[in-house]
Amino acid sequence: MLPTTLDLSATGRKGRRPGWPGCTLAIALTLGVALPEPVRAEPPAHAPAHGWRKQHDPYYLGYTGKQWSRDYGILAGRCDRTAVGAVLGAVVGGAIGSQVGEGSGRQVAILVGSAIGAVLGAEVARNLGDADRACIAHGLELLPVGKRVSWDAPGGLRYQLIPENGPNNRYCRDFTLLTEGAAPARSRGRGCRRPDGSWELTRI
């Protein structure tokens, strides 16, 4: 039978009394009372929420408001190039849309247009595979400002994308792309999202 009163004068260390939070936890554990789980706070209305996912919400919110079912490791800072390549499959070049394959789990943003070489440089653009372009586009969709994502590519190449906000345009973002390896480079550009969910690059 539980006592009707609790002696709070006992101390774990000489000369110190336990604080009320510790007492509350001890009482809860003694009585078998479950403490409430912490509530996941939503971002304020004025703050960009791209990449953020509500609790129990299966979708990731893109920079322009589009919902994506997968992040391919983007938010953890490491684009899963293999998974992206599996989604793209055997489709070649930039003539594909943002919806690749079937099912909600087979979506990825991509880069399209003929200005990729002019923006990133001819050699950088020549080395970019379909999966690399998709990692860039999906990073522009999901990465918050101040975050970066990297991935390894064939030929000993390694890419790192650092996105920023765009110039008063919620459909465009500036970015820096770092290329490491046999052909190191630092490229600056601006990506603008098209209505079909793909991204097109322009010069800053």
> In this structure, what DSSP letter does residue 13 have?
B
pLDDT of residue 170: 75
pLDDT digits (tens, 9 = 90+) for 104-122: 444 789 898 889 999 999 9
Tokens of 181: 């390896």
User: Considering the domain boundaries, does residue 3 fall inside one?
Assistant: no
User: Considering the domain boundaries, does residue 139 fall inside one?
Assistant: yes
Please state, in angstroms and as integers, the Cα–Cα distance from residue 166 to each residue in 16, 32, 53, following that order: 55, 53, 22
Pairing of strands 157-163, 185-193: unpaired
The 3-state DSSP composition of the chain as helix, strand, coil percent (nearest 5) reads 25, 20, 55
Range of the domain at 102: 60-202
User: Considering the domain boundaries, does residue 5 fall inside one?
Assistant: no
How many structural domains compose the chain? 1
To the question of pTM greater than 0.75 for the whole model, the response is: no
CB 157 within 8 A of CB 181: yes
User: Considering the domain boundaries, does residue 68 fall inside one?
Assistant: yes
User: Considering the domain boundaries, does residue 145 fall inside one?
Assistant: yes
CB 109 within 8 A of CB 68: yes
User: Considering the domain boundaries, does residue 119 fall inside one?
Assistant: yes
pLDDT digits (tens, 9 = 90+) for 63-83: 878 888 899 999 999 999 999
User: Considering the domain boundaries, does residue 42 fall inside one?
Assistant: no
What average pLDDT score do residues 171-186 get?
A: 94
User: Considering the domain boundaries, does residue 24 fall inside one?
Assistant: no
CB 111 within 8 A of CB 200: yes
pLDDT of residue 51: 57
pLDDT digits (tens, 9 = 90+) for 10-61: 444 444 444 434 444 444 444 454 444 444 444 444 444 555 455 546 788 8
